[in-house]
Structure 1
């Protein structure tokens, strides 16, 4: 050390030069060797390639690999640099042989570069291959050896070596030339790729095939001679043919690729997708698209979520249609009219609030709210229908009446808690049509909401009847992420577990497509809570279903919004949904959340809590919030004579001869429609002629509705048809007297229909029964 210090003191200039050279050597190598843009690459959760977008410079250059496949590693070392793991970045023997050969020939015949030097040369693009540049590469190569391990240097070479055309790197080359990942290449395929970077502009698949074949086979022979491969493997390898042209890269999830490229451009992104499920779903979508396009229906999308992890398992943003039909549009996150797909949320909200019980009877009669008049899809009415049946049959009128009774603002508040991002206006903007498709949403948000409901139920049963605070979180498609459900608390996030369970029980009863009509009779079938939706004008068809493990969502339609006859949820979207469920593992049904329920006596006919006069009851588990619901309003105790054919009272019969009997009685308008579809419905018997009636009498207009505008059609003979006025009366045997604008026009009995020919303009229709009860309606007649 003393001598070294003395040397520096005596030779200050030499010492300074040495120090400067050391510093220059230390900083001569750029921190980042390669700044080339790379392709955006997405893989499945098991690392299979799903798709890639070419780099900005037009090169198929995948992000740098972290491992080099063993076969390619052996081939490239045997072909390019046998002493790679022994030299310090350059090989003096190779350099001497190359120099001797080049000097004797007067031309550059041999390079003598190591793989480390080639990495440096690849990073220093466009540099001439002179001896001076070679010297620079040698110095930089030794510096690289100090910075990186041998394996890291080899990874850089494999990632940035040219393989002909616009293909760079082993990963891109293996897919472009052999349509598989580099780890699955054979010895012949690995040898082919190993010899390509040696002269990529002259020899690559499709160009100078014989030269490429000769180089590959020489390398294979060397592998055999060095006992790396046996004779049989060698013979089979040289018999393999060469690739003739590049393959297109897989496009298994192209719309998810585009979505990821917006935020992770040029990166390798591992998704949560299951490649086998994605490919099966792609096949199903293609099959259905081929059928649907015959009816000019060109677009559809599918989303599959794992309920328990909230991971995206399948992502199909659009059908395999063409540019004319906007195949590049990812419809999964685009707002579309919801149709009836929001109805389960209303049903769950009303259960959660305790406004209804699962089977509560709701009215299904012609209804008008101002200028808004909802209609059922089949344009018929049941009079009264159980709430769960109204949901399972997707009846519009009962649901709108339920929404009106529940309150538009209350329901809107529930929807906002679901975080449906396309609900951009206030509740009054949508009105009562909110539940029938007056609003827009997207497949992503809707599937997220159904998955959150299913997950709420799962977690409640698995965590001592507790709820997670962050249950309604966003799904994820990044395999490196996991969902944070928050902390466990006693309070629900949106809906309580019992309301969700009872909603799913109702959705389970939805009539399946024709091919699955008798699903409950097959052991292989699984229970699925599902719902369809069809928007106004047949522009959007939806089907979303959930089990305890999976949510499947399907949208079908045209991206440009064109409606088509037959574009109905149950006909177009539902078959796809059940085909997807058929390839998913079978799930068990949800466990009953008994801690959020209690058992109570229910009136079978009305679905309300049984009153003291309900004659047909059953014990049912209902949600705890249902405690506040009232007793059955449709059963009353009637007094009959001995024959039970007439109602009587103390004015005409002694108390000893009066029979008291419970009777199920609907309001007149509901009864009018109900008895047409329920032949066993028995109206109240009339009072005996000698009795004084003391009970209330009611009547309601069947047609027209209040404040209606009536258009009188003309027949084939050109004459204007009459307007048929209809009234339902609780005692149809009474006479009813009809007036238009205070002018008497006639009377009816038993069947209260009256044909009139009013003049255009506003009119007041008045009906008065024999007991003096009066009913008025205002209408407008238009020509």
Structure 2
């Protein structure tokens, strides 16, 4: 105690000095900005982005390759593992030489001191600065291992030009990772920080070679390398030019740098697969660019892990054509790519069965008049065929039937970020490209649907609550699918399975169209889309294990003839799928399906009058769909040429038969595409009590506005009115605002030339049936 009191001031000073010594070293030695670096899942370099200060400086690497370690130790600090941060012998020799030559000729710094100098941004060399470096070097030795100090040096030493650190130097000068460098290459890099200005392509090569070879000789003399290795090493050429940093996934690098700027990120991308997808994109770009289609994006996801396997944000086009734009995340018009979601929603809700006939007829809803791509109509078509053929009119009619707001709610639950507005903003065009989405979200949605079926099987008929989670490009990503529940996430597994079954039947592009002849062929549920004006071509496909999404077009939105999903996007999709391992098809989710009798002609549940019935698996909710409305029991004369009843024919001459009959307008188009369709015979003229004839306007639809044009002689063109009637022999009387304008027989077309205004068109047949339509004429 007395001793403490006696030396109290000295102890206080000692404590202050020790405290100052302890805190003399910054917590973070190097605060320089670093390059953003991305690696493949195997650890290979995918790309790097130069640091904000214009230097190629990779993030700190804690491992130093053995060859470089031996080279740098023998060149800079042979006693590195023995000294406490400084070498008294080297310092003494340096002082003697510097005094002798009256200038700083020799530094005598250890690697530890050089780390301190680098962290202090190479302060002016003075003896006072040397003292500071010495103190901090000893403190560095106390706080860090020798290996860590060596790693500090390797990651921050200058290697000439704007190259800092071993990792960047190895790539810039030798195009390789440090671990793969030869002894000669490692020795070259080891001597550079001593004089980094030496290595300029074609400059001072002889001086650099001498320094390198002297180091190699030292390595040989110390038996670190053998004589043969030495001889081979000194024969190696020095680098003659700077090598570009690999840019295997440049747009992924852009994406990563948004949240991980200056970090080294190990991604989930597979190196060789990414390179092969790049080559596919390049090959298609070279062909498509001949038609001034310049941009392509491809995204590949693993369904089970939700990890990105390949990420091609754009084609290798030019800056003029915006090659640096990452289109994967950009909003584009969806075209028909949302149609499978509507099909799934309607199946899930029990509104339709997969093969339910839906109308494909001229349609006008308000001022909106959808058209099929081929400008033709089928009259009626199975819903799954309408989906597979991507028919627009049935899709719009299905959306109207299902409910615009209702479907919009489904899309919101799928987290499609670019569908930002309310349902009324998009209207019924929502299903035909009136909305925008991006490739990332679309692939996420398809993978969520595929995963729903997979998980349903794995959990014995249950669902995860968070299927529509965000995918990730991080190698260590672990998806959180949420809790298991008996309640579906969005679509039930049965509805999704039936949707994928329909999408698997879509006709593949040229070269892939014979796939179903081979048992080993890869079954894929896929869909294309083409936006209005041929601006965007889409193709997204999924198997049990993988989702591939493709977008093709021009980044500036310019449309091009031939820019159609099936023609330009689908071939890329199948080229990519051909690189992936083949997947088994989805297991049928029996707990969400039920086998029922279905009418083969209409796709509805079989009614008592259906004469062509098959068993089919449908979704459980499909049990509430109505029975077939198109089959009915009719009463025919025994030769089946007329319908009759007991008012005109004895009962024994009447044949009772099931008959498939469509509404007039659907029938009009359906019979042209289905030659075996038989019209329902008319009632015999002597039968009473039956007026079953029906008619319907082809032109005009109710509340339509027409703009009458003029011909070359400035004479206004007229308007042709058309009606379809179930009785080909019927007579129709036409009225314009209650004024009789003519009659037609068999072919019901009449031409009118009205003035500007609003009119009521009335058609009355000889049986008294009447239809009306309101039109507006603008001239």
Category of TM-score, reference length = shorter chain: over 0.9
CA shift in 2, pair 1:185/1:656, >3 Å: same
Pick the aligned partner of 1:484 from 451, 470, 480. Answer: 480
Correspondence for 1:86 = 82
Tell me by how many angstroms 1:711 deviates: 4.0
Moved more, 474-483 or 22-31: 22-31
Kindly indicate whether the alpha-carbon contact (under 8 Å) linking 1:289 and 1:298 is maintained by their aligned counterparts in 2. yes
Correspondence for 1:406 = 402
For residues 6 and 533 of structure 2, the distance between their equivalents in structure 1, rounded to whole angstroms, comes to 97
Report the secondary structure of 1:283's partner residue. Answer: helix
1:149-198 residue CA offsets vs partner (Å, 9 max, x unmatched) = 01000010001111011111001111111111111111111111111111
Tell me by how many angstroms 1:32 deviates: 2.1
Tell me by how many angstroms 1:584 deviates: 1.6
Tell me by how many angstroms 1:718 deviates: 6.6
Correspondence for 1:29 = 25
Kindly indicate whether the alpha-carbon contact (under 8 Å) linking 1:712 and 1:782 is maintained by their aligned counterparts in 2. yes
| 1:127 aligns to 2:138 (yes or no) | no
Pick the aligned partner of 2:388 from 389, 392, 409. Answer: 392
| 1:770 aligns to 2:766 (yes or no) | yes
Moved more, 282-291 or 588-597: 282-291
| 1:294 aligns to 2:281 (yes or no) | no
| 1:211 aligns to 2:207 (yes or no) | yes
For residues 204 and 758 of structure 1, the distance between their equivalents in structure 2, rounded to whole angstroms, comes to 85
Correspondence for 1:750 = 746
Pick the aligned partner of 2:366 from 363, 370, 380. Answer: 370
Moved more, 45-54 or 391-400: 45-54
| 1:587 aligns to 2:588 (yes or no) | no
Correspondence for 2:232 = 236
Kindly indicate whether the alpha-carbon contact (under 8 Å) linking 1:738 and 1:744 is maintained by their aligned counterparts in 2. yes
For residues 748 and 7 of structure 2, the distance between their equivalents in structure 1, rounded to whole angstroms, comes to 126
Q: Map 1:477-556 onto structure 2 (within 5 A).
A: 477-523=473-519, 525-556=521-552
Pick the aligned partner of 1:698 from 691, 694, 699. Answer: 694
| 1:260 aligns to 2:260 (yes or no) | no
Please, which runs of 5 or more residues in structure 2 have no aligned partner? Answer: none
Report the secondary structure of 2:189's partner residue. Answer: helix
For residues 461 and 62 of structure 2, the distance between their equivalents in structure 1, rounded to whole angstroms, comes to 46
Kindly indicate whether the alpha-carbon contact (under 8 Å) linking 1:613 and 1:637 is maintained by their aligned counterparts in 2. yes
| 1:58 aligns to 2:54 (yes or no) | yes
For residues 579 and 231 of structure 2, the distance between their equivalents in structure 1, rounded to whole angstroms, comes to 42
Q: Map 1:285-684 onto structure 2 (within 5 A).
A: 285-523=281-519, 525-684=521-680
Kindly indicate whether the alpha-carbon contact (under 8 Å) linking 2:683 and 2:690 is maintained by their aligned counterparts in 1. no
Moved more, 664-673 or 710-719: 710-719
Please, which runs of 5 or more residues in structure 1 have no aligned partner? Answer: none
Tell me by how many angstroms 1:782 deviates: 3.6
For residues 44 and 396 of structure 1, the distance between their equivalents in structure 2, rounded to whole angstroms, comes to 42
Correspondence for 1:224 = 220
For residues 124 and 775 of structure 2, the distance between their equivalents in structure 1, rounded to whole angstroms, comes to 93
Tell me by how many angstroms 1:44 deviates: 1.6
Kindly indicate whether the alpha-carbon contact (under 8 Å) linking 1:687 and 1:693 is maintained by their aligned counterparts in 2. no
Kindly indicate whether the alpha-carbon contact (under 8 Å) linking 2:172 and 2:245 is maintained by their aligned counterparts in 1. yes
For residues 24 and 716 of structure 1, the distance between their equivalents in structure 2, rounded to whole angstroms, comes to 98
Kindly indicate whether the alpha-carbon contact (under 8 Å) linking 1:203 and 1:211 is maintained by their aligned counterparts in 2. no
Report the secondary structure of 1:683's partner residue. Answer: coil
Tell me by how many angstroms 1:684 deviates: 1.0
1:74-126 residue CA offsets vs partner (Å, 9 max, x unmatched) = 11112212221122212233333334444444443333222111111211223
1:213-271 residue CA offsets vs partner (Å, 9 max, x unmatched) = 11111222222222222333222222211111211212222222222222222111222
For residues 621 and 14 of structure 1, the distance between their equivalents in structure 2, rounded to whole angstroms, comes to 92
For residues 695 and 507 of structure 1, the distance between their equivalents in structure 2, rounded to whole angstroms, comes to 43
Correspondence for 2:182 = 186
1:429-460 residue CA offsets vs partner (Å, 9 max, x unmatched) = 11111111111111111111111111111100
For residues 726 and 694 of structure 2, the distance between their equivalents in structure 1, rounded to whole angstroms, comes to 5
1:639-673 residue CA offsets vs partner (Å, 9 max, x unmatched) = 12222222221122211221111111000100000
Q: Map 1:192-203 onto structure 2 (within 5 A).
A: 192-203=188-199
Tell me by how many angstroms 1:28 deviates: 2.6
| 1:282 aligns to 2:274 (yes or no) | no
Correspondence for 2:93 = 97
Pick the aligned partner of 1:177 from 168, 173, 177. Answer: 173
Moved more, 57-66 or 343-352: 57-66
Kindly indicate whether the alpha-carbon contact (under 8 Å) linking 1:163 and 1:204 is maintained by their aligned counterparts in 2. no
Tell me by how many angstroms 1:764 deviates: 2.4
Tell me by how many angstroms 1:712 deviates: 4.5
Structure 1 vs Structure 2 CA RMSD: 1.9
Residues paired across the two proteins, number:
779
1:29-76 residue CA offsets vs partner (Å, 9 max, x unmatched) = 222221211111111222211222211221111111111111111111
For residues 156 and 444 of structure 1, the distance between their equivalents in structure 2, rounded to whole angstroms, comes to 39
Tell me by how many angstroms 1:713 deviates: 5.2
Kindly indicate whether the alpha-carbon contact (under 8 Å) linking 1:196 and 1:204 is maintained by their aligned counterparts in 2. no
Kindly indicate whether the alpha-carbon contact (under 8 Å) linking 2:198 and 2:208 is maintained by their aligned counterparts in 1. no
Kindly indicate whether the alpha-carbon contact (under 8 Å) linking 2:388 and 2:505 is maintained by their aligned counterparts in 1. yes
For residues 258 and 514 of structure 1, the distance between their equivalents in structure 2, rounded to whole angstroms, comes to 35
Correspondence for 2:684 = 688
Tell me by how many angstroms 1:714 deviates: 5.4
Moved more, 498-507 or 199-208: 199-208
Tell me by how many angstroms 1:541 deviates: 1.4
For residues 677 and 726 of structure 1, the distance between their equivalents in structure 2, rounded to whole angstroms, comes to 20
1:458-512 residue CA offsets vs partner (Å, 9 max, x unmatched) = 1001111100011111111122321100011100010000000011111112222
- TM-score, normalised with respect to structure 2: 0.96
For residues 227 and 700 of structure 2, the distance between their equivalents in structure 1, rounded to whole angstroms, comes to 93
| 1:730 aligns to 2:735 (yes or no) | no
Tell me by how many angstroms 1:743 deviates: 3.0
For residues 381 and 369 of structure 2, the distance between their equivalents in structure 1, rounded to whole angstroms, comes to 19
Tell me by how many angstroms 1:207 deviates: 2.8
Kindly indicate whether the alpha-carbon contact (under 8 Å) linking 2:198 and 2:207 is maintained by their aligned counterparts in 1. no
Report the secondary structure of 2:596's partner residue. Answer: strand
